[in-house]
């Protein structure tokens, strides 16, 4: 498979075409906005966290296929998970996107289905696209006020 | 009569294959495919003569200018000042005094905003820009507005990406103290009727600055004919090096303006009580300048002036028409920027594919385009798109390269069918 096919796999194209949890959560108790000034990608991540568990998670915004698919897969993966698992997955996904997962112990099993995004690390200019939603989610969980910027 | 009869003979032929040989970078392969460089709006490639001029300077002439009494310093000074003279000729300024070397267009605009603007504008005054400015012709004026309490007014553009002249005339009023517009839009390719814009402003005694960054690679610019007060452009977009550009300013205005930065070279006498500033253009050139790249830019001017410009213009016009027609055939594609008068830029979007994805897939086919907001976010907002893919041409591009662009776009559509 070419690097391009690695990047634009069927699953990614499907999430791009029909993003899951692409909506606002009214009254969400965690929320953050992320923005990539380089390309204009913009995302808002909503979370409903109760007793340390992510009861609901969603996103809205505009961006490329990679950023949309990454955000969409993130929401399906994190719904129902404890906050601590979200932090851990954030770290692992981040390491995968920057091509450092293998160096930091463990392999693709640490990111589960999100391994499908691993092709992104071959495209340095696109790493920010894939990581924007994750940084935004992390910010929302931490309750930080400032909008996230990835550039 | 002789000229007339020559004009009627076969159209001038532009030998693009020969011109391409002057640009060493163009012959390389990218991802195993021949490089198709269509990101000239971001920066142009450099002919060998420019690269060699810089190389020669460092090998044979490097020295600080305007200071040394020694041989090398005199040679470096002569080479640098000779480049200034070439740039004067390039835009037909009246004198070398009106050619100020800066880092690029951005610095030129900031210089005018801070030196002219802070001196002559006050609270309640108005500055007019257009809705298709690059951020570098928006933000310096916003900063000035914050500093002096002036207001920014924006000329709207129509759906083709053309300035609405009636709206401009309405915006001009007694409070207007400065007009700053682009000559050619970097995101849309629109050629702005700047001569008319200048004339209308001058009718009210208002000075005008033109952002010529995207104009100088495509048009023959004559600042006296345009009658503008300031004209800014960058070396790297006109086949010269990065890190050097020019601010043209009308001498009588430059004389009235205070220095932008203080330091060496911009003074004639310094005591702790008082400093006397140097004459033009040195008053605005504090510190050791970018000598090598100034000389390189002079070489770029030599290169451009040796080209047959009517033939260059005809070739570029053909490229743009051919590319526009080819892209219009692609059903899912929409061209952003359809002004009647355009130069070198084709911005496009798809409803279902983001520009970033377009850019990545084109790159895999060896085709370099820009994907994003092109430092013109208000333009993107005007057209309701987050970003566009932009193919921008130079005279060394070919019709065959446009065919490769089209083929690469077909691959995009295959991935996202």
- Cβ contacts (< 8 Å) between B355 and chain A: which residues? 39, 64
The answer to whether residue B355 neighbours chain A at the CB level (below 8 Å) is yes
Predicted pLDDT of residue B130: 98
Which tens digit of pLDDT belongs to each residue from B167-190? 999 999 999 999 999 999 999 999
Q: Is pLDDT above 80 for B83?
A: yes
ipTM score of complex: 0.88
Q: Is pLDDT above 60 for B84?
A: yes
Higher pLDDT: A151 or B264? It is: B264
Helix or strand or coil: residue B106? helix
Q: Is pLDDT above 90 for B102?
A: yes
Predicted pLDDT of residue A100: 85
- Interface contact flag, B360 A63, Cβ < 8 Å: no
CA pair distance B251, B177, nearest whole angstrom: 19
The Cα of B387 is separated from the nearest Cα of chain A by a number of Å equal to 7
Predicted pLDDT of residue A146: 59
Q: Is pLDDT above 80 for B413?
A: yes
Crossing angle for the helix pair A65-78 and A127-142, to the nearest 10 degrees:
40
Which tens digit of pLDDT belongs to each residue from B374-409? 899 999 999 999 899 999 999 999 999 999 999 999
Predicted pLDDT of residue A48: 95
Q: Is pLDDT above 90 for B417?
A: no
Tokens of A15: 């999430």
- What are the φ and ψ backbone dihedral angles of B390, each rounded to 5 degrees? -130, 120
Give percent helix, percent strand, percent coil of chain B, each to the nearest 5.
45, 20, 40
Which tens digit of pLDDT belongs to each residue from B186-204? 999 999 999 999 999 999 9
Is residue B5 very low, low, confident or very high in pLDDT (cuts 50, 70, 90)? very low
Predicted pLDDT of residue A150: 64
Q: Is the peptide bond before B281 cis (omega within 30 degrees of 0)?
A: yes
Q: Across-strand partners of A149?
A: A35
Buried/exposed code over A64-84 (b: 16+ C-beta within 10 A; e: otherwise):
bbbbbbbbbbbbebbbeeebe
- Interface contact flag, A39 B387, Cβ < 8 Å: yes
- Interface contact flag, B356 A126, Cβ < 8 Å: yes
pTM of the predicted protein model: 0.93
The Cα of B360 is separated from the nearest Cα of chain A by a number of Å equal to 8
C-alpha angle with apex B212: B46 to A40, nearest 5 degrees?
85
Mean per-residue pLDDT, B267-286 = 93
Helix or strand or coil: residue B200? helix
- Residue B86 burial class via C-beta count within 10 angstroms: exposed 0-12, middle 13-18, buried 19 and up: buried
Can B145 be counted among the known catalytic residues?
A: no
Buried/exposed code over B306-320 (b: 16+ C-beta within 10 A; e: otherwise):
eeeeebbbebbeebb
Q: What percentage of chain B reaches a pLDDT higher than 90?
A: 92
Predicted pLDDT of residue B8: 46
Count the Cβ atoms, other than its own, within 10 Å of residue B407. Answer: 12
Tokens of A109: 């099993």
CA pair distance B181, B168, nearest whole angstrom: 11
Predicted pLDDT of residue B2: 41
Which tens digit of pLDDT belongs to each residue from B153-163? 999 999 999 99
Q: Under a CB-based contact definition with an 8 Å cutoff, are residues B409 and B348 in contact?
A: no
Q: What is the mean pLDDT of each run of 10 residues along chain A (151 residues)?
A: 86 96 95 86 94 96 94 97 95 91 70 91 92 96 71 53
Q: Is pLDDT above 60 for B12?
A: no
Q: Under a CB-based contact definition with an 8 Å cutoff, are residues B364 and A4 in contact?
A: yes
Q: Please, which contacts does B113-116 make with residues 24 or more away whose CB atoms are closer than 8 Å?
A: B113/B140, B113/B141, B113/B143, B113/B144, B114/B140, B114/B144, B114/B260, B115/B257, B115/B258, B115/B259, B115/B260, B115/B284, B116/B178, B116/B207, B116/B230, B116/B253, B116/B257
């Amino acid at each position: 498979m070419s690097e391009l096919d690695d990047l634009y796999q069927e699953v990614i194209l499907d999430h791009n075409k029909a993003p899951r949890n692409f909506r606002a959560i009214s009254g969400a108790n965690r929320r953050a906005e992320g923005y990539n000034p380089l390309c204009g990608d913009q995302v808002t991540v909503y979370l409903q966290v109760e007793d340390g568990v992510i009861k609901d998670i969603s996103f809205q915004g505009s961006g490329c296929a990679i950023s949309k698919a990454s955000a969409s897969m993130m929401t399906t993966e994190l719904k129902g998970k404890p906050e601590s698992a979200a932090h851990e997955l954030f770290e692992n996904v981040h390491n995968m996107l920057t091509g450092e997962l293998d160096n930091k112990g463990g392999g693709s099993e640490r990111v589960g289905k999100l391994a499908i995004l691993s092709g992104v690390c071959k495209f340095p200019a696109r790493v920010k696209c894939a990581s924007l939603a994750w940084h935004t989610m992390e910010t929302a969980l931490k309750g930080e006020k400032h909008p996230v910027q990835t550039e | 009569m002789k000229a007339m009869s020559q004009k009627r003979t076969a159209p001038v032929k532009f030998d693009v294959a020969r011109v391409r040989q002057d640009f060493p970078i163009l012959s390389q392969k990218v991802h195993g495919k021949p490089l198709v460089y269509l990101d000239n709006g971001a920066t142009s490639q450099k002919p060998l003569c420019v690269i060699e001029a810089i190389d020669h300077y460092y090998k044979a002439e490097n020295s600080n200018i305007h200071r040394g009494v020694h041989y090398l310093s005199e040679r470096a000074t002569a080479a640098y000042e000779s480049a200034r003279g070439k740039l004067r000729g390039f835009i037909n300024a009246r004198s070398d005094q009106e050619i100020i070397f800066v880092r690029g267009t951005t610095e030129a605009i900031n210089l005018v905003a801070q030196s002219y603007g802070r001196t002559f504008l006050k609270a309640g005054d108005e500055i007019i820009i257009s809705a298709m400015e690059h951020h570098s012709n928006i933000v310096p004026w916003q900063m000035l507005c914050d500093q002096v309490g002036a207001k920014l007014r924006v000329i709207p553009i129509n759906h083709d990406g053309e300035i609405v002249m009636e709206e401009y005339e309405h915006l001009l009023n007694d409070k207007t103290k400065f007009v700053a517009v682009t000559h050619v839009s970097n995101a849309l390719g629109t050629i702005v009727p700047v001569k008319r814009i200048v004339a209308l402003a001058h009718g009210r005694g208002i000075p005008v600055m033109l952002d010529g960054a995207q104009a100088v690679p495509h048009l023959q610019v004559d600042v006296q004919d345009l009658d503008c007060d300031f004209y800014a452009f960058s070396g790297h977009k006109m086949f010269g090096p990065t890190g050097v550009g020019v601010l043209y300013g009308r001498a009588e205005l430059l004389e009235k303006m205070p220095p932008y930065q203080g330091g060496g070279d911009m003074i004639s006498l310094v005591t702790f009580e008082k400093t006397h500033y140097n004459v033009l253009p040195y008053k605005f050139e504090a510190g050791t300048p970018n000598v090598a790249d100034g000389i390189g830019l002079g070489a770029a001017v030599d290169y451009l002036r040796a080209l047959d410009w009517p033939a260059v213009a005809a070739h570029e016009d053909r490229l743009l028409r051919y590319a526009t027609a080819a892209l219009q055939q692609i059903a899912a594609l929409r061209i952003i920027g359809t002004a009647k008068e355009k130069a070198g830029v084709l911005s496009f979007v798809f409803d279902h594919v983001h520009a970033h994805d377009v850019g990545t897939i084109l790159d895999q086919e060896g085709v370099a385009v820009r994907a994003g907001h092109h430092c013109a976010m208000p333009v993107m907002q005007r057209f309701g798109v987050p970003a566009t893919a932009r193919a921008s041409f130079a005279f060394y591009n070919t019709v065959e390269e446009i065919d490769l662009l089209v083929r690469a776009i077909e691959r995009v559509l295959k991935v996202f069918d």
